[in-house]
Structures are given as structure tokens and as C-alpha cells.
Amino acid sequence: MGWVLALFCWCSGAWLTPSRHLTVAGATGSLAYLRRAAADFEKTYPPNTVALSGGGSIAGLVEVSLGRVDIGISDVAPQRQWTRGVDLSSLALGRIPLLIIAHPGVGVSSLSTATIRALYSGQVTSWAQVGGRPDPVVVMTRPLSSGARQVLQAKLLGDRPMSPDAVVVLSNGAMLAAVQETPGAIGFVESGIVPSRVALMAVGVTQFHSQDGATWPYAVTPTAYWKKSSSVWVRLLAEFLATRPYRRAFGLYPRAS
Amino acid sequence: MKGGWNDERMPRYVTRGATLLFGLMALSLMAVLVVGAWPLLREPRPLTNLMSPLWSPLTHRFGLVPFVAGTIAVTVMALGLAIPVGLGTAITLARLMPQTLQPAGVKLLTVLTAVPSVIFGWWGLLVVVPWIRGQVGGPGFSLLAAGVVLSLMLMPTFSLLYYQALRAVPSRYQEASDALGASPDQTLIGVVLPCAFPALVQGLFVGVARALGETMAVQMVIGGQTLMPKGLAAPGATLTTQILTDVTVFPQGTRGHAVLDLMALLLMVAMYLLVRAAERWGTRS
Amino acid sequence: MRRGWRAHSIALVLALLGMGVFLAIVASLIQEGLPAISWRFLTGWSTSESIGPELLNTLVMVGMTLIVTIPLGLMTAIYQEEYHYNPAKKRVATLSRVRATLLSAPTIVVALVVYRIAVGWWHWPVSVLTGVLTLSVINWPFLATLSAQALRGVPDSYRQASLALGASRLQTTRGVVLPAALGFLVEGWGLAFARLAGESAALIVTAGVNVSRHWSLFGPGETLAVHIWYIRTEGVSLNRGAEAAATGVVLMALIAVVVWAFGRLSRLLGGAQPPSQEVR
């Protein structure tokens, strides 16, 4: 009957020491970097383990405010309805360029802001209308909670609502794959390098090159949030995540000063 | 056990304790969902909001009709494809394969029922979505793609359930039918299938339940659109995929989460109704 | 084709069609994934290019879940079938319905509820342990159903003989009923392993999507199935298609080996068919 006892012990949860098991939850856009940095942190400060969990930006803010996780990663600015007025410290991990991409077959390589608006609001339904091949436009977007979608909406679409016909893909990687594979697709990805097998769109006259990650005007800023009252290890981890030199390899550029 | 082998109290208490724990688990599952959905149900006229086709969660419009429609369409398509193939496999296995080979076939089907749903999703993106795009145009991400992927997931399940149903028909019935001069087809259609019918119906309900609950593979290919679906080749969403998508917008602890709990509750109620239906129509009277 | 086989030949065509599609799935998986599999890929502990930790997590989490839920499933089944055997009784009917409903509960729903209780109220970390709890909630109804089926398959004459010889219920269950049902049970445990090893939606929420350098029960526990999801949706490496497929091949192979092994064991223990009630 040992396992019954063990079950009761689990339920009590008393002998867990949460300070040594740090949990990071939230936006998944920088997950690849976080996986690397978390492993690095464990190596540098041996008794700690770091668990990463997804859930999205808003979940990161809610969870950290409720004290369920130690650090929340969010691409969107905290709102009172999520944090309930809990005092949070924050540190940006860097900025990830947000790139407008399309299927390589569309025959267009630059789009003005107005054209992007027309495409995303569903007014333009064929690439021929904007000088490309006669493929029907397939608009791809991400869930409402995505920081990338919010940046796109705020900086490029303005008050124009997104086409209700848009296909919703759950994540950054899935977006890239979907645009690569779907003729006529237009989408957006967070990426520090020029993505392969898609047509990268110049916005207006500005063309993105892999060396101007720090200055590209559209960017997502994943930021670590933690409670002011949390342990010293939590702050240490946040600072660790925000300062790794290999961030650039994952598309995270230091903020332009 | 201090009472020795003849003391019945101890084992009775232990097993009853486990059963109570099981009941408690079920109860708390439902309770958490009901409590979570309560704020929405308490609002004035919740049904008008929920029964509308408009899903605009940020403005508090929670019309669930598109997702219910998507769920039904995907499930019906998946069943329509999976049941004939499942039944065909079952008949082949039970009536055409030699006795000695049948256990191997069952084992193979068993392994196939356990293929993880992410693998079906992966294959759906690789093959099904481009194929639909090529055949009917549009983005390819669609209810149809979800139905096809889901039907693949259900095929081994139906094959196994139906094989067991056919095997449960006593072989003396079949021998009697053969002895009376019936052709194999006549034995199958006149004797075996009618005898197995209640079990086949029960298998149908099990399959429906599996189809309703599947999330991952369906989400990867359905397109996630929240409008009322315009057709089978158009993108859409189901209740489960929309829970997965919008749990990032309304994580637990936010106001809008109530609608996700309500969707989960709806699914659980549907499961219970299916169980009752299987009881009512799926057993020999 | 002889007369009278038409329905059968339609069935055969449908079966071949289904098998063909599955063959295509497995073949494309192997074709894409096999070249990426190497000894280092399987056993290395570096977090990026190998799946050693994910393999370990899958085995440990599913193993622990089975250790917890096998006795629990048996106990609920014994209570229902051996101590309260009377299907007409209202309590037993309710229990079966609850069990069947839970069995078909979408795993994402289970995960959300477990997360709220374990992480929210009990303050467990997102970890292997929370993952095991989630898997246990998912698996208990399955094993309870399976065990009840196994016990129901044992003919009542066995019990009557044992009880008539003066054995108690407990002795009868332990000494007669369980051994007779064991073959069926063991085969089912293999299936449960397969069902759990393929679970992804629920574990993304509760067990995390990374692995730790220091393995611990309270550390993060990404499994193979979650890893496939991660590579497909978030991974950045160039040959991620091959990596996902290779992980898929490993997962399928693991499932096939375990199901086969439990099947072998089951045959050693007396066969997988539940002894039929029907005496011809």
C-alpha cells in the first residue's frame, strides 16, 4: 500500500520546494532560445531546474501574477485585468523582427503599407490586383493573443480590422510552414534572419536584411515579468535570460539605443 | 491484513475507497468546469449570446454555433469515411483471413490505434492539405481536411471494434446458415450483420466520442476560422480546437475563460448523452 | 469471382484501401525520419540534437502512471464486479456511466482542470509529476473499464466453485479470478502504455515543453509526442521535418515494441481472450 501513502504525500505537496524548481511560462515565440538559455542556467547554477511551459503571452502574465509560475514571458504589455494590480518587474529579452512573408509563387516582392492593409482586410482577393500572378490571396494570421498579431495590427493595419476569412495558425513555426506550403498565402513571422523558401516582402521601400535586426521598424519584444516579491533566484534567472550573448543566433536583437 | 483471509471488511473498504476516489475525481472535474462557466451562465439571457453565429470574444460575443456546426460536420465526414473502411477491414479479417492469421491482424490494428495524433496531423499537413488545395482550390486547410485526417485516426478503432462485434456472433449460427445452403454473402448479410448490429451501434457511439474529443491532429489542418463555415472545403473550427486556440487569449483567471469552460462542459455533456445513447440502442434487448 | 462473394469482395477492397493509406503514412514517416536516426540522436543528453531525455521522460512518466493506475483501476473494477455484482443496481449503473463519460473526455479538458487544481491550488511546479497526475486522470477510466471487462469475462462458475470450497471473496478474487483474467489485463496494459505515450495536448500544458539537465520528478518533462509537436510548431532548425519524423519513428517503434512485449507476456500468462461466458 506504499503507493497510496505516496499519493497522499503528493497531494499534500508539502515537501516540494518551489524555489529550486523555477517555472517559466508564456509566449512561445522565443521558446527555442529559452530552451537553450534554461539549460545553460541549470549548468551555471547547479541545484536549480527550470521548466518551460507554453500558454501564450496573456497566460504568462496571468500565471505570474497569480504566483503559479515564477517568470512570465509576454510579447504584449500587461493590462490590469490580467495582473490584477500585482507589482511586476520586467526585463526585455530583446526584439525579434516581424517580417511580412508570402508564398514564393505570388510574384510580388514589395508591398506598400496601404497594400498590406488592403490584403489583410480582405479587400484585395487576387495577387493580380497588386501586380502579381493571378493566385487567390490566402490570408494567414495567428490567435488574438499573439504579440506578433498585435504589432501587425497596431503598426501596419491601424484601425482596419483583419479579414474574417483569415486562416488561423497557432504558432510562429506553423505560420512559416503554412506560408511555405500554401500558394497565394500571405503571413507574418518573427525571425531574425531571412526565412527560407518564402518571398520576403519589403515594406514600402525598406527591405529587410539579416544584419539589420536591431533597426527594422516592426518588432516583437518578448519580455520577462516576475513578482517584485519573488526570491533572488527568480531575478537571477530573469537577468540571465535577458543577457545571454547568443540571443542573436535566435533572432533576439538588443534594443536599438 | 490483520483480519486474515476470511475478513471481508478490509478489501471491501479499500476497493470502495478507490471507487469513491474515482467518483470524487469525476465530480471535481465537472465541478471545476461548472464553477468556471458560471459567470457566463449567470448573465442575462446567456442563450441568445451563445446561440448566435458571431464569435468575437474581445467584444464579449460568444456565439458557439460555428464551432458546433464545425464539430458536427467534421465528425459526420470522419464517420462516413471511417465506418465503411472499418467494417470492410473487420469483415475481411473475421471472414476471409484464416484463423491462424487473425491474431496478427488484430495486433497490427491495435498498434495502429495507438499511433499518436501528432503523427496524423503531420501527415495531414504533408499530404491531405495540399491534395485538397489541388482538387478544390482554397487554402486547403478545411473542415474536409480535418474530416479526412480524423477518419484515418478512427479507422483502426472501428476495425477493431467491429471485428470484435463480428467475432462475438456464435459460429454455430454461421454454420447453420451455411448448412442451409446460404452463400457467404447471404450468411454475412442475413445472419452475421443482424446479430452483430447492437454491437456495431455501440461501436458507432464509441467512435463518435473519440471523434468529438480529438484536438491536436484536427487543429493542425482545420484552419481555425471562427466564421460560420461556408462549405466543406472552407476553413473552420471545432469546439476542441477553439478551446486550444483561445486558451491563450483567455487563460484561467481571466474573465473570458468562462466560455472555454462552458465549451468543455458542453463536450462532457455530449459525451454523457452518447454513453446513454449507447446504452439505450447499443445493447441487445 | 464465384457468386455470393460480392459483399465480401467490396469489404476486401475497402480493407486494402485503408491498409494502403496506413502503409503510405508509415512509409513516408520512415522514409523521412530514418536517415536522421543515429546512436547519438537516441542517447545523447545535449538538449538540441538528441532525444535521450525525451525518451527517458516518456518511459518514466508512462511507467509511473501505469504503476499508480493499474492498482486503482483494478480496485474500482473489483469493487464493481466482485463485491457489488448486480448490474441492475442503480449505483453500479451510475458508476459505469461516469466511467464511460470520463473515458471519452477530451484530454485537453482534463489537462485544463488538472492544471487548475495541481498547479493553481496545490502549487506543484509544471513538471514530470504534474504530467503523471494528468496521465493518471486520463488513464484511470481506461484501466477501470478494461479491468471490469477482464473480470466480467471470468465465468461465474469459477467463483461459485471457489466460494463453495469455503474461500472468502478476497481469496476467490486473488486466487481464482485475477489469475484467470491476467492474460487479458496484461495485454490491455500494453495498450494503455501506447495510448499514454502518444498523448501530447494534455502534457504541453502540465508537463512542460523542455527538458532539464538534472532530471528530477519536479523538473520539466517533455515527452516524445510533445517533442514532435514542438519541432513542428516552434522548432527553428533547418532539417526540422526530418527531426520530427525521426522522433515519430522512435515513438512508433517504442509503442510497437511495448505492445508486442506485453502481448508475449500475456500469452505466457494464458492468452488475451477473456474466458468466454458462453459455454458451447
**At residue C280, does pLDDT exceed 50?**
no
Let me know if residue C24 belongs to a domain: no
Specify the DSSP element, H or E, that contains A21.
strand A21-26
Per-position DSSP letters for chain C, written without gaps between them: --TT-HHHHHHHHHHHHHHHHHHHHHHHHHHHHGGG--HHHHH---TTT--HHHHHHHHHHHHHHHHHHHHHHHHHHHIIIIIS--TTSHHHHHHHHHHHHHHTS-HHHHHHHHIIIIIIIS---SSHHHHHHHHHHHHHHHHHHHHHHHHHTS-HHHHHHHHHTT--HHHHIIIIIHHHHHHHHHHHHHHHHHHHHT--HHHHHHT-S-B-SS--TTS-B--HHHHHHHHHHT---TTHHHHHHHHHHHHHHHHHHHHHHHHHHHHHTT-SSPPPS---
C277: confidence class by pLDDT, cuts 50, 70, 90: very low
Q: Please give the Cα distance from A16 to A19 (Å, whole number).
A: 9
Mean pLDDT of C212-225: 80
Mean pLDDT of A154-178: 85
Q: Report the amino acid identity of residue C116.
A: R
Residues of B within 8 A of A82 (CB-CB) are: 253-254
Residues of A within 8 A of B254 (CB-CB) are: 58, 62, 81-82
C36: confidence class by pLDDT, cuts 50, 70, 90: confident
Let me know if residue C20 belongs to a domain: no
List all residues of chain C from 143 to 172 with a beta carbon under 8 Å from chain B: 144, 167-171
Residues of C within 8 A of A47 (CB-CB) are: 214
Let me know if residue C273 belongs to a domain: no
Determine the distance in angstroms separating the CA of A82 from the nearest CA of chain B, rounded to an integer: 6
Q: What is A97-212's CATH number, 3.40.50.620, 3.20.20.100, 3.40.190.10, 3.30.930.10?
A: 3.40.190.10
Tens-place pLDDT, residues A91-104: 999 888 999 999 99
* Contact present, C228 and B116 (Cβ < 8 Å): yes
Contacts A–B by Cβ distance under 8 A:
82
Cβ-defined contact of A3 to C68 (cutoff 8 Å) = yes
Backbone φ/ψ region at A199: left (φ over 0), alpha (ψ -120 to 50), beta: beta
In the 3-class helix/strand/coil scheme, how is B101-154 assigned residue by residue?
Answer: HHHHHHHHHHHHHCCCHHHHHHHHHHHHHHHHHHHHCCCCCCHHHHHHHHHHHH
Question: Percentage of chain B with pLDDT > 70?
Answer: 96
Residue in chain C nearest B257 by alpha carbon: C112
Which of B246, B248, B259 best probes binding to A when mutated, by most A CB atoms within 10 angstroms? B248
Average confidence score pLDDT of chain A: 84
Q: Which domain holds residue C141?
A: 39-268
Q: Please work out, in degrees rounded to the nearest 5, the angle formed at the alpha carbon of residue A10 by the alpha carbons of A9 and A13.
A: 90
Residue in chain B nearest A166 by alpha carbon: B225
Residue in chain C nearest A32 by alpha carbon: C235
A19: confidence class by pLDDT, cuts 50, 70, 90: very low
Q: Please give the Cα distance from A106 to A111 (Å, whole number).
A: 12
- A19-53 as b/e, with b when 16 or more CB fall inside 10 Å? eebbbbbbbbbbbbbbbbbbbbbbeeeeebbbbbb
Determine the distance in angstroms separating the CA of C211 from the nearest CA of chain B, rounded to an integer: 19
Instruction: Name B55's bridge partners.
Output: B62
pLDDT in the model for residue C237: 58
Cβ-defined contact of B226 to A168 (cutoff 8 Å) = yes
**Among B225, B235, B251, whose Cβ lies nearest the Cβ of A62?**
B251
Tens-place pLDDT, residues A107-120: 888 999 999 999 99
**At residue A36, does pLDDT exceed 50?**
yes
**At residue A12, does pLDDT exceed 80?**
no
Which of the listed ranges A56-65, A153-162, C71-80 does the model predict with the highest average pLDDT? C71-80
Residue pointed to by grid coordinates 500469452: C267
Average confidence score pLDDT of chain C: 85
* Contact present, C93 and B267 (Cβ < 8 Å): no
**At residue A17, does pLDDT exceed 80?**
no
Q: Please give the Cα distance from A56 to A69 (Å, whole number).
A: 13
Domain boundaries, chain A: 2-95+221-250, 97-212
pLDDT in the model for residue A178: 86
Please give the grid coordinates belonging to residue B143: 473542415
Question: Percentage of chain C with pLDDT > 90?
Answer: 32
**Among B121, B152, B243, whose Cβ lies nearest the Cβ of C108?**
B243
Let me know if residue C9 belongs to a domain: no
pLDDT in the model for residue C3: 63
Which of A68, A96, A179, A196 best probes binding to C when mutated, by most C CB atoms within 10 angstroms? A68
C278: confidence class by pLDDT, cuts 50, 70, 90: very low
Residue in chain C nearest A42 by alpha carbon: C213
A15: confidence class by pLDDT, cuts 50, 70, 90: very low
Q: Please give the Cα distance from B206 to C125 (Å, whole number).
A: 35
Average confidence score pLDDT of chain B: 88
Tens-place pLDDT, residues B263-285: 999 999 999 999 999 888 876 54
**Among C5, C79, C102, whose Cβ lies nearest the Cβ of B184?**
C5
**Among C7, C101, C255, whose Cβ lies nearest the Cβ of B189?**
C7
Tens-place pLDDT, residues A220-248: 999 999 999 888 889 999 999 998 988 88
**At residue A195, does pLDDT exceed 60?**
yes
- Give me Rg for the CA atoms of chain C: 22
Q: Which residues contact C223 (CB under 8 A, 6 or more apart)?
A: C54, C57, C58, C61, C131, C197, C199, C200, C203, C207
Residue in chain A nearest C220 by alpha carbon: A51
* Contact present, A241 and A30 (Cβ < 8 Å): no
Tens-place pLDDT, residues C93-137: 888 889 999 998 998 889 889 988 998 888 888 889 999 999 999
pLDDT in the model for residue C238: 59
pLDDT in the model for residue B23: 93
Determine the distance in angstroms separating the CA of A29 from the nearest CA of chain C, rounded to an integer: 7
Which of A256, A236, A213, A243 shows the shortest CA–CA distance to A93? A243
Specify the DSSP element, H or E, that contains A136.
none
> What does pTM read for this prediction?
0.87
Domain count, chain C: 1
pLDDT in the model for residue C197: 92
A2-95+221-250 sits in which CATH class?
Answer: alpha beta
C274: confidence class by pLDDT, cuts 50, 70, 90: low
Interface list for chain A against chain C, based on CB atoms closer than 8 Å: 3, 7, 10-11, 13, 16, 18, 20-21, 23, 25, 28, 31-32, 34-36, 38-39, 42-43, 46-47, 49-55, 66-69, 170-174, 177, 196, 250
Residue B187 DSSP SS3: helix
pLDDT in the model for residue C102: 92
**Among B130, B225, B246, whose Cβ lies nearest the Cβ of A167?**
B225
Residue in chain A nearest C210 by alpha carbon: A52
This complex has an ipTM of 0.86
Q: Please give the Cα distance from B233 to C198 (Å, whole number).
A: 29
- Give me Rg for the CA atoms of chain A: 21
Tens-place pLDDT, residues B77-130: 999 999 999 999 999 999 999 988 888 888 888 888 878 888 888 889 888 998
A146: confidence class by pLDDT, cuts 50, 70, 90: confident
Please give the grid coordinates belonging to residue B228: 460560420
State the greatest distance between any 2 C-alpha atoms of chain B, in Å, as a whole number.
Answer: 73
Let me know if residue C14 belongs to a domain: no
List all residues of chain C from 199 to 228 with a beta carbon under 8 Å from chain B: 199-201, 225, 228
Higher per-residue pLDDT: C265 or A48: C265
Least confident of B144-148, B237-241, C45-49, C79-83: C45-49
Query: In this complex, is the C-beta atom of C31 within 8 Å of any C-beta atom belonging to chain B?
Result: no
A84: confidence class by pLDDT, cuts 50, 70, 90: confident
pLDDT in the model for residue C46: 62
CATH classification of the domain holding C139: 1.10.3720.10
**At residue A207, does pLDDT exceed 90?**
no
Q: Do domains A2-95+221-250 and A97-212 have the same CATH topology?
A: yes
Q: What's the first-to-final CA gap in chain B, in angstroms?
A: 43
**Among A32, A42, A55, whose Cβ lies nearest the Cβ of C213?**
A42
Question: Percentage of chain A with pLDDT > 70?
Answer: 92
Q: Please give the Cα distance from B139 to A199 (Å, whole number).
A: 17
DSSP H stretches of helix in chain A: 2-12, 31-44, 57-66, 80-83, 113-120, 147-152, 172-181, 232-243
pLDDT in the model for residue B84: 95
**At residue C176, does pLDDT exceed 60?**
yes
pLDDT in the model for residue A48: 82
Residue B194 DSSP SS3: helix
* Long-range Cβ pairs for the range C193-196 (8 Å, 24+): C193/C62, C193/C66, C193/C255, C193/C258, C193/C259, C193/C262, C194/B110, C194/B111, C194/B113, C194/B114, C194/C255, C194/C258, C194/C259, C195/B114, C195/C139, C195/C142, C196/C61, C196/C62, C196/C65, C196/C66, C196/C135, C196/C138, C196/C139
Which of A31, A18, A25 shows the shortest CA–CA distance to A53? A25
Please give the grid coordinates belonging to residue A9: 504525500
Tens-place pLDDT, residues B134-180: 888 778 889 999 999 999 999 999 999 999 899 988 889 989 998 99
Let me know if residue C15 belongs to a domain: no
Q: Which residues contact A63 (CB under 8 A, 6 or more apart)?
A: A25, A26, A55, A69, A72, B251, B253
Q: Please give the Cα distance from C128 to C212 (Å, whole number).
A: 11
Mean pLDDT of A10-27: 62
